Structure 1
Amino acid sequence: MIRKLHAVIAQWTVVVPVASLVLLVLTWHRDVPGWVVAQVACFLGAAVLAAVHHAEVIAHRVGEPMGSLVLAVAVTVIEVALIVTLMADGGDKAATLARDTVFAAVMITCNGIFGLSILIGALKYRVAVFNAEGTGAALACIGTLATLSLVLPTFTTSSPGPQFSSTQLVFAAAASIVLYGLFVATQTIRHRDYFLPVTPEGKILTEEDHAEPPTNRATLASLALLGVSLVSVVGLAKGVSPTIESAVESAGLPSSVVGVVIALLVLLPETIAALRAALRNRVQTSLNLALGSALASIGLTIPAVAVASAWLPGPLVLGLGPSHLVLLSLTIAVGTLTVIPRRATPLQGAVHLAVMAAFVVLAINP
């Protein structure tokens, strides 16, 4: 019975990514009726679940923290390609797209996914335990890169408005790619044990479970299907964005709400994978996914848009506004206080979710 169930799951997770990609090709840049949009939304949800399945297969084969890194980087690379494409098509209207997308990703990962993972882990196992060395290093990199890329443009004076001059933009891009590369090397090679799940007594867990790891062939197949699933997720999210924009406009909400909704859709695979890890008392894996996604979003997006800005028609606005500066500062401060004790209660999870809720409220009602 169990083998039959595994066979059904395996079959489903192969068919859905391919079918989603076909649907994406058929609907890309086309005006489609409402019933087709409903189908797109269904396939979007199914592709998210398929992506989570294949990411977990890969993670089981390569182990932590490499498994979390694969999913975070894969999602971000596709997201960056989408941002650059939209900026190329949007002109002046897309001047703040990179900033808004990166900031939304930081808020969703560092408060939404981070807070939910701690809350679920702490509610089920009394406290959520994690490795402060690795989590603190990731949070320090996020705070530094976010400040260099999103805060400084608000206060520089070489260019009018919250924009970098060419020299400043080159520096921010170089700092982002160097720090992100050093973080990846630290996470996967030099100090890999800092990013492994731990027991309440502080013992490092080197094995996720006792099941046999998948074969190389199965892992490569899952890697390919993960890529197809993530392309489908991001592409279908872009496909439903006109419907979201119409709904937001009809409700009289600011246009920034569209970016938040799309960011939530794109980050769904990481969110589900993180919550499933927290339910297995692997909170460190959840935090690797959350903070790794935030780092990848900054470390890959800023260099990409810096290069693309040489030929993009419109300006590139990176500086955050006052309310977002306050939220970013609060996120780093609260995150630091959460990480230091190496364990957290449901209260800390609720605090992060309160900051996330404030971000959503301010997006709806600035």
Structure 2
Amino acid sequence: MPSPFPLRRVLTPVAIARLVIGWGAVGALAAAGPLLAPPVAGPVLLIVLAVTIVVILLCSFGVVHEAEALARRLGDPYGTLILTLSIVTIEVVLIAAVMLGPGDHATIAPDSVMAVSMIILNLVVGVCLLLGGIRHGDLRANRTGALAYTTLLVVLCTTAFALPAAIGADGAYTPVQALTVAVMTVGLYGFFLWRQTGAQAADFQEVASPAGTDIGAITGQQTASTGQQTASIEQRPAIGAGITAHRSEPLARPALLIVTVLPIVLLSHDLAALLDDSLGRLGAPVALAGVLIAMIVFTPESITAVRAALGGQTQRVVNLCHGALVSTVGLTIPTVLVIGLLTGQQVVLAESAANLLLLGITLALTAVAATSPRVTAMHGAAHLMVFGLYALVLFS
């Protein structure tokens, strides 16, 4: 019989404070709605925008905390997948809120997803590899799992950003093309999740190897050896056993996670309107809205990835960063295409030549790191330079 799980370990004072602040902000913005109708005084607009961003970040950290607690109970890749899907859901909601809000936001989806790609694959991965490489010397991930992520990213990013310019109209897919792409994208992402949490779960777990040993070689030897295959399968996390052993906690934490996510969803509409007004007054680049959304949403997960890198958990960094981007493209693009079809909006996905070039360089660096026997701080420095080039292009 599993021991009873005390609810107070989930519903902590900090968790209660997050709920009070999050839902309090929702109520306050709803009550102040008429007062925030444009035009709003500049200082008031900035204060409300800053408070809204802080509350969303606070609730996001709460979501990450609950997801990480589940990750510890269920093990990888299940735990990291819960964390990734929680964060990506928030991003999809924010983008959808901007699309359905006032103003013309035909490019918010590619702007946001491109920003996520550059921030995660270059800024976050760059910092992780740089700091982790300096602290631990060589970093080694599970090559098969890392290459699986890279394979999906090449296909999904090409479909999202390059193909619309070649076969679409004015950088957007036609309705038939949009529906076809949405279905195929969801199908590929669903198949990936099925394999990641099933037959290939071991490919996304940390691989401990002797110093100087090529992990790719170890992975190949495991695949070739039936006995080693059996051992690898036995090491997979028993998710059913984890749920049975901690029956109350796997039920209580998702409930708290959902209640913590809801204020983010409700505040997202106000954030979209406030961002639109603020950037319009500043004359900032339109793509900056997507960058801000990406930075707001992925700050908690980025901190988690850096902590994992400092702890030498290279595969966890890969699962968090590459998994987040696969989920972002696999869920965001179909969502915005469906919204476009339902609302009659034109969803422009085609990216500029400069961004496509930077994305190609980023994916090439990602593939090189995934196939390298030794990943060092030099790989991280290269990724950070590409992110600097992206910032240069953004403000040019």
- Fold in common (TM above 0.5): yes
Q: How high is the sequence identity, in percent, across the aligned residues?
A: 28
- What is residue 26 of structure 1 aligned with on the other side? 28
State the shift of 1:63 in Å. 0.6
Decide whether aligned partners of structure 1 residues 119 and 200 sit closer, same or farther in structure 2, where only a CA change above 3 A counts.
farther
Decide whether aligned partners of structure 1 residues 303 and 244 sit closer, same or farther in structure 2, where only a CA change above 3 A counts.
closer
TM-superposition CA deviations, 1:158-185 (whole Å, max 9, x none): x531111223222211221111111111
- What is residue 88 of structure 2 aligned with on the other side? 76
- What is residue 119 of structure 2 aligned with on the other side? 108
Do 1:244 and 1:258's aligned partners in 2 also have CA atoms closer than 8 Å? Answer: yes
- Please report the TM-score for the alignment, with normalisation by the length of structure 2: 0.80
Unaligned runs of 5+ in 1: 1-5
Decide whether aligned partners of structure 1 residues 347 and 176 sit closer, same or farther in structure 2, where only a CA change above 3 A counts.
same
1:17 aligns with 2:23: no
- What is residue 146 of structure 2 aligned with on the other side? 135
Decide whether aligned partners of structure 1 residues 17 and 113 sit closer, same or farther in structure 2, where only a CA change above 3 A counts.
farther
> 1:1-366 counterparts in 2 under 5 A?
10-28=12-30, 30=33, 31=36, 33=44, 35-90=47-102, 93-156=104-167, 159-201=168-210, 202=215, 215-233=246-264, 236=267, 239-240=270-271, 244=275, 248-249=279-280, 251-363=282-394, 365-366=395-396
Higher mean displacement: 235-244 or 251-260? 235-244
Name the CA distance, whole Å, in 1 between partners of 2:48 and 2:320.
32
Do 1:186 and 1:192's aligned partners in 2 also have CA atoms closer than 8 Å? Answer: yes
TM-superposition CA deviations, 1:220-266 (whole Å, max 9, x none): 22222223334444655664555555654555431211220121101
Higher mean displacement: 250-259 or 318-327? 250-259
- What is residue 227 of structure 2 aligned with on the other side? none
Name the CA distance, whole Å, in 1 between partners of 2:135 and 2:67.
24
Name the CA distance, whole Å, in 2 between partners of 1:265 and 1:109.
13
State the shift of 1:122 in Å. 1.5
Name the CA distance, whole Å, in 2 between partners of 1:345 and 1:198.
17
Name the CA distance, whole Å, in 1 between partners of 2:67 and 2:307.
12
Amino acid paired to 2:29: T
Decide whether aligned partners of structure 1 residues 62 and 134 sit closer, same or farther in structure 2, where only a CA change above 3 A counts.
same
> What is the alpha-carbon root mean square deviation over aligned residues?
2.8
Unaligned runs of 5+ in 2: 1-7, 219-231
Determine which structure has more spread, i.e. the larger CA radius of gyration. 2
TM-superposition CA deviations, 1:293-350 (whole Å, max 9, x none): 1111111122222222222142111111111111111111111111101431111111
Decide whether aligned partners of structure 1 residues 35 and 83 sit closer, same or farther in structure 2, where only a CA change above 3 A counts.
closer
Decide whether aligned partners of structure 1 residues 9 and 278 sit closer, same or farther in structure 2, where only a CA change above 3 A counts.
farther
Name the CA distance, whole Å, in 1 between partners of 2:119 and 2:383.
10
Do 1:52 and 1:272's aligned partners in 2 also have CA atoms closer than 8 Å? Answer: no
Do 2:57 and 2:297's aligned partners in 1 also have CA atoms closer than 8 Å? Answer: no
TM-superposition CA deviations, 1:90-129 (whole Å, max 9, x none): 46x1111122122222222222222222222212211222
State the shift of 1:86 in Å. 2.4
State the shift of 1:138 in Å. 0.6
Do 1:169 and 1:306's aligned partners in 2 also have CA atoms closer than 8 Å? Answer: yes
Pairs aligned (count) = 353
Name the CA distance, whole Å, in 2 between partners of 1:89 and 1:251.
20
Decide whether aligned partners of structure 1 residues 59 and 304 sit closer, same or farther in structure 2, where only a CA change above 3 A counts.
same
- What is residue 224 of structure 2 aligned with on the other side? none
